[in-house]
Amino acid sequence: MISVEDAAKLIDTHWPNWGEVPVTIEQLSSLTTTEPIFADRPYPPVHRVMMDGIAIAWSTYERGQREFAIVGVVAAGEPRIELGGPNSCLEVMTGCPLPKGADLVIPYEEIQIDSGIARIVGEQQRNAFDNIHLQGSDCPLRAEVLPSHRVLNGPRWGIAASMGYASLNCARNPRIKLISTGKELIDPHQRPQPHQLRKSNIYALKASLRCHGYDGVDLDHLMDDRPRMIDHYQENRQKYDVLIYSGGVSKGKFDYLPDLWQGAGVTRYIQGVSQRPGKPLWFGIDHQYNTVVLGLPGNPVSSLVCLHRYVLKTPVIYAQLQEEVIFRKDLTYFVPVKLTYGEDAVIRAQPLTIKNSGEFIALAESDGFLELPKESCHFPAGTCYRFFPWRSP
Ligand SMILES: Nc1nc2c(c(=O)[nH]1)N[C@H]1C(S)=C(S)[C@@H](COP(=O)(O)OP(=O)(O)OC[C@H]3O[C@@H](n4cnc5c(N)ncnc54)[C@H](O)[C@@H]3O)O[C@H]1N2
Ligand code: MOO
Ligand SMILES: [Mg+2]
């Protein structure tokens, strides 16, 4: 059986690239860009006035002049005009181009206006270009303002819009189908018999995928009927890029999936990982159609942990264990935790007691899980481990 680290490497190495798609500014999705953003002009494009007030020539101010005749008003959105004489000023609004001949802006709070004359009140150190956002000071023309391969967020979409990008090329998200398996499972709106369960895994998994930017995931269910499962696989491998199954991958009489996939020509890269929960994890690629086949162990905690550990990308975060954990198996142990954040910037992780990987109700108050390495069996309070969140921070 392979280690968690080797399993993660195999999945990363073999995970296909799904090409790129244009994403329009109306869609505003949070996909990853596959092209850089360049400035189509210097930014700011002109010397930009930063305070509502008056614009004057600094040289006049420096010579001691404190009263200026107001000769006009410039609003944002109006083209650049000329100041006129050295003893005059223009009222200028935040965002308008600095008038030609002016190089100092004094805010309204520092002047008094009377009969068309603006008088500067109160002496203070004033320098040329005070309250002026200099042309090109943020970036020059043609500068790369966002490199490629960045996840789009609010600021980045704002930059794209400003630089005139009506659409951006992004990495295409795969078309995903989640398939639950098992004769015991019924729909959430149905009333179960004692031997039945409502399907929960595909909803939990779909929600996790959605929280990490994968929308439009389709759902399906299969009873443990081998011929039907084979037909279903043949139909769906052509329509989807990723088929994620939950259940049916262990050692049971009705765990048909691993044999069935290999019979259909899927190349197997992982069958079993030295971890708890999630030991029977299965991963392969159908190279004929470039379809990923992921078999998540059916126990609800196992399927969630495997999806988050191996598929959903989150920043590397470490958290400090608040209570000793002892786990005497030669397996990596994923322990659900509740986090608290202190003013000391330490992320604290309270481990939650969980009897087995069927006890998903114990996850209700959890924020994610810690990965406790298999090289150890004693994890003292105060030690730090990698944390995987249910939601991307
Ligand atoms: N002889 C062995 N038995 C088992 C082993 C083993 O190594 N040897 N591994 C155990 C481990 S660990 C796990 S995890 C499970 C994985 O089993 P399967 O992937 O085959 O899943 P199922 O048998 O179909 O179901 C297991 C369990 O999970 C419940 N389940 C399944 N799907 C859902 C769903 N969509 N919503 C809610 N609950 C679901 C199912 O009812 C079962 O209770 O195998 C162990 N056995
Ligand atoms: O991996 Mo199983 O998930 O230990 O129950
Ligand atoms: Mg089974």
Contact predicate 116/67, CB 8 Å: no
Instruction: Determine the residue of 220, 255, 281, 299 to mutate for testing ligand 1's pocket, defined as the one with the most ligand atoms within 8 A of the Cβ atom.
Output: 299
Contact predicate 268/278, CB 8 Å: no
Q: Phi then psi for 115, rounded to 5 degrees?
A: 50, 45
Binding site membership of 247 for ligand 1 (Cβ less than 6 Å): yes
pLDDT at 206 over 80: yes
Q: What is the pLDDT of residue 190?
A: 95
Give the Å distances, CA to CA, from 333 to 34, 198, 351, 392: 36, 27, 12, 21
The ligand 2 site (C-beta within 6 Å) comprises 276-279, 297, 299, 302, 357
What pLDDT, in 10s, does the model give residues 239-272? 999 999 999 999 999 999 999 999 999 999 999 9
Q: Phi then psi for 164, rounded to 5 degrees?
A: 85, 20
pLDDT at 52 over 80: yes
Cα of 57 from ligand 3 centre, angstroms: 81
Which residues are paired to 378 by β-bridges?
326
Residues 6 or more apart in contact with residue 366 via CB below 8 angstroms: 336, 337, 338, 352, 390
Q: Whose CA is nearest to atom 10 of ligand 1?
A: 250
Q: Which of 258, 260, 262, 333 is nearest to 295 (CA)?
A: 258
Cα of 250 from ligand 1 centre, angstroms: 7
| Ligand with smallest separation from the Cα of 357 | 2
Q: What is the pLDDT of residue 11?
A: 98
What pLDDT, in 10s, does the model give residues 134-185? 999 999 999 999 999 999 999 999 999 999 999 999 999 999 999 999 999 9
Cα of 295 from ligand 2 centre, angstroms: 13
Q: What is the DSSP letter of 353?
A: -
pLDDT at 392 over 90: no
Contact predicate 348/305, CB 8 Å: no
Binding site membership of 251 for ligand 1 (Cβ less than 6 Å): yes
Q: What is the pLDDT of residue 302?
A: 98
Which residues are paired to 167 by β-bridges?
24
Alpha-carbon distance of 37 to 200, in angstroms, equals 42
Cα of 256 from ligand 1 centre, angstroms: 12
Q: What is the pLDDT of residue 359?
A: 92
Q: Which of 284, 328, 268, 280 is nearest to 306 (CA)?
A: 280
Q: Which of 170, 181, 164 is nearest to 39 (CA)?
A: 164
Alpha-carbon distance of 158 to 169, in angstroms, equals 16
Q: What is the DSSP letter of 151?
A: B
Q: Which of 59, 56, 91 is nearest to 75 (CA)?
A: 91
Binding site membership of 291 for ligand 1 (Cβ less than 6 Å): no
What pLDDT, in 10s, does the model give residues 291-343? 999 999 999 999 999 999 999 989 999 999 999 999 999 999 999 999 999 99
Q: Phi then psi for 355, rounded to 5 degrees?
A: -75, -40
Q: What is the pLDDT of residue 393?
A: 74
pLDDT at 27 over 80: yes
Task: Tell the residue number behind the tokens 């009897």, with chain if given.
Answer: 355
pLDDT at 350 over 90: yes
Question: Could you give the percent of the chain with pLDDT greater than 90?
Answer: 96
pLDDT at 49 over 80: yes
What number of CA atoms fall less than 13 Å from residue 191's CA on the CB side? 0
Give the Å distances, CA to CA, from 182 to 52, 177, 206, 306: 68, 17, 18, 19
Instruction: Determine the residue of 183, 250, 357 to mutate for testing ligand 1's pocket, defined as the one with the most ligand atoms within 8 A of the Cβ atom.
Output: 250
Q: Phi then psi for 332, rounded to 5 degrees?
A: -70, 140
Measured from the Cα of 275, ligand 2's closest atom is 1
Measured from the Cα of 180, ligand 1's closest atom is 35
Contact predicate 281/273, CB 8 Å: yes
Q: Which of 340, 246, 339 is nearest to 301 (CA)?
A: 246
Q: What is the pLDDT of residue 94?
A: 98
- Mean pLDDT, all residues of the chain: 97
Q: Whose CA is nearest to atom 24 of ligand 1?
A: 247
Contact predicate 105/17, CB 8 Å: no
Cα of 313 from ligand 1 centre, angstroms: 25
Cα of 306 from ligand 2 centre, angstroms: 10
Domains of the chain: 4-18+174-310 (3.40.980.10), 20-43+138-171 (3.90.105.10), 48-133 (2.170.190.11), 317-389 (2.40.340.10)
Identify residues whose C-beta is under 5 A from ligand 3, the ion: 250, 252, 255
Q: Which of 361, 15, 390 is nearest to 207 (CA)?
A: 390
Q: What is the pLDDT of residue 388?
A: 98
Give the Å distances, CA to CA, from 230 to 78, 246, 304: 68, 16, 25
Instruction: Enter the ipTM.
Output: 0.97
What pLDDT, in 10s, does the model give residues 95-133? 999 999 999 999 999 999 999 999 999 999 999 999 999
Cα of 305 from ligand 2 centre, angstroms: 10
Alpha-carbon distance of 331 to 228, in angstroms, equals 35
Cα of 288 from ligand 3 centre, angstroms: 28
